[in-house]
Amino acid sequence: MSSPLKVGLISLGCAKNLIDSEIMVGHIHKAGMAMTPNATEADVLIVNTCSFIDAAKEESIEAIFDANQSRGMRKRNQKQKLIVAGCMSQRFSKDLQSSMPEVDAFIGLDQLTQIVPIIEKMVGQDRPADAAPENFVTEKSVYIPDYDTPRYRLTPSHTAYVKIAEGCNHPCSFCIIPQMRGKHRSRTISSVIAEVKQLVAEGVREINLISQDTTYFGMDRWEQKASPRQPVDSSRGDSLVALLRELNAIEGDFWIRLLYTHPAHWSDELITAIAECSKVARYVDMPLQHISDNMLGKMKRETSSQHIRDLIARIRAGVPGIAIRTTFIVGFPGETEDDFHTLTDFIETTKFERLGVFKYSQEEGTRAAKMEDQLSTRTKAARWKRAMALQKKIADEISAGFTGQTLRVLVEKPGVARSHADAPDIDGRIYVDPALPVGEFAEVTILGAKDYDLIAHLG
């Protein structure tokens, strides 16, 4: 009896990309193939790429190059097939076919569930040395997973990501995602509930809701129902508010974390739902990108400075103790010193609990890439450094304020935990007693702070 085909996977990028990888692995397992962590012994190696910004593209290209180099140096089976999937493949497959002839196949975002027949086809053929890689990418992405989509989780057993929608309808001038992932399309509430119930039954303690814009959940169906002469009625159909309330009613002890929200779609009803749902973590991830009206207009963010300021005040008043995470872009085309000072003043006065800053990346195919007044690399780097130094000071003050408090934490690994204010992989850690059981909740008292982390155990 022959041994099963061995498949290796390199997964890059964000949590949304990770779910795509999990779906491919789920189908591979279902087909009886074996996943291997040792890329050198894989019969097929998949690189699931990201191309959101230049740094992500460079990481993806380097991973593909490394995979081919080690194959050529006989560290791997020379018959190993190399498949490139994900966002970069979706975006650049036609260009990559000629520039990366060593790749055997490119697959797009809508071919995730076709990974098994694609692998079988690759393994069953010998491609001529001068042949171009096969291209399975379709131009328009329309796929969305369901509750019964085969999936093998790559996260720790106590935490999981749940993709509630795919695609994006926003016109942000710096972003290429709508061109790659298509228009926004929501899952049904019943589909999400079925998936979460299964995850909780498996012992998951943290459900992280993700999409390109979680606050837009269900709104695409409102628009489909509305007639041209009749405004959309937001009280009808699925909504994030309805989803949160139904998730909160599921039996079990777990957190629900809300990631990737957009300031344009928040409502008082959503704020109230978060406050009233005990299982919803007091944490909001809401990328704002800027606060200057000049920049918000150039970025096509569909919000104003005053709207953002009022929204933050309403969220903090409506959900006491909430931690707000945001991100900003510095060095966007045309950003003046006044624009940047407006941003840093806002950061200083608002005192976000969690904050990240990106240097603007000039992405091919976006409107912003064609704008005049592109700023120099030096200016972008200097502004990034100033903004991050400011946030470091604020973070130190916020962390110091936790000393003496008792927090409920989820133990991530021996000696390390996270609070409701800490999302996986992106926020700080809490150092706890190594004896606390991994994957369970615990109550700890904060003794001090170090940088972005808290200390609840000395030793």
pLDDT (tens digit per residue) in 319-361: 999 999 999 999 999 999 999 999 999 999 999 999 999 999 9
Q: 């009206």: which residue's tokens?
A: 293
pLDDT band at residue 113, thresholds of 50, 70 and 90? very high
The band of 173, judged by pLDDT with boundaries at 50, 70 and 90, is very high
Contact of 280 with 214, CB cutoff 8 Å? no
- Look over the chain and give the mean of its residue pLDDT values, rounded to a whole number: 92
Mode of pairing for the β-strands spanning 280-285 and 255-258: parallel
C-alpha span between 134 and 103 (Å, rounded):
9
Task: Quote the pLDDT of residue 77.
Answer: 59
What is the average pLDDT across 186-204? 98
State the pLDDT confidence band at 3, using cuts at 50, 70 and 90: confident
Summarize the confidence of residues 390-394 as an average pLDDT. Answer: 97
0.75 exceeded by pTM: yes
Residues 204 and 159: their CA atoms lie apart, in Å, by: 5
* Class of residue 402 by CB neighbours under 10 A (exposed 0-12, middle 13-18, buried 19+): buried
Which residues lie closer than 8 Å to 359 by C-beta, 6 or more apart? 329, 330, 331, 380, 381, 383, 384
Mean pLDDT across 281-307: 98
Degrees (nearest 5) of the Cα angle 138, 141, 144? 130
Q: What is the pLDDT of residues 198-247, one digit of tens each?
A: 999 999 999 999 999 999 999 998 765 544 333 344 444 589 999 999 99
The confidence score (pLDDT) of residue 140 equals 81
Report how far residue 208's alpha carbon sits from residue 280's, in angstroms, rounded to the nearest whole number: 10
Per-residue confidence at 138, pLDDT binned at 50, 70, 90? confident
Q: pLDDT value at position 228?
A: 38
**What letter would DSSP give residue 41?**
G
Q: Kindly give, in sequence order, each residue whose CB lies less than 8 Å from that of residue 65, ignoring residues fewer than 6 positions away.
A: none
Q: How far apart are CA 430 and CA 413, in angstroms?
A: 11
DSSP-derived secondary structure letter, 289: B
- Domains of the chain, with CATH numbers? 6-135 (3.40.50.12160), 159-399 (3.80.30.20), 406-455 (2.40.50.140)
Which of 220, 232, 215, 216 minimizes the C-alpha distance to 274? 215
Mean pLDDT score, 183-204? 97
Could you tell me the two tokens for 273?
């739902």
What pLDDT shows up at residue 231?
39
Q: Are 361 and 381 in contact (CB under 8 A)?
A: no
Retrieve residue 237's tokens. Answer: 């159909």
Determine the Cα–Cα distance for residues 68 and 80; give it in Å rounded to an integer.
10
Residue 354 pairs in a beta bridge with 325
According to the model, what pLDDT value does residue 97 have?
Answer: 87
Q: How far apart are CA 315 and CA 319, in angstroms?
A: 6
pLDDT of residue 305: 98
**Is pLDDT above 90 for 174?**
yes
- Pick the range with the lowest mean pLDDT from 87-96, 257-266, 274-283, 425-434: 87-96
Q: What is the pLDDT of residue 76?
A: 47
- Among the residue ranges 134-143, 290-299, 409-418, the one predicted with the least confidence is 134-143
On the question of pLDDT at 54 being above 90, the answer is no
Q: Is 146 in a helix, a strand, or coil?
A: coil
pLDDT of residue 230: 39
In percent, the amount of the chain with pLDDT more than 90 equals 78
Among 130-134, 145-149, 445-449, name the one with the lowest average pLDDT.
Answer: 130-134
47 DSSP β-pair partners: 10, 84
Q: What is the pLDDT of residue 186?
A: 97
- pLDDT for 225 equals 54
Residue 129 clears pLDDT 80, i.e. is over it: no
* CA distance to 29, 112, 121, 126, 250, per residue, from 116 (Å): 9, 9, 9, 18, 34
3-state DSSP call for residue 252? coil
- 58 confidence band (pLDDT: 50, 70, 90): confident
Angle of helix 15-30 relative to helix 115-123, nearest 10 degrees, comes to: 60
Residue-wise over 97-116: b if at least 16 C-beta within 10 A, else e? beebeebbbbbbbbbbeebb
Q: What is the pLDDT of residue 71?
A: 53
Higher-scoring residue by pLDDT: 165, 40: 165
Cα-Cα-Cα-Cα torsion 413, 414, 417, 423, nearest 10 degrees, comes to -10
pLDDT (mean) for 45-57: 84
Q: Is the pLDDT confidence value at 60 over 60?
A: yes
Q: Is the pLDDT of residue 262 over 90?
A: yes
CA-to-CA separations, 88 to 81, 91, 213, in angstroms, rounded:
18, 5, 20
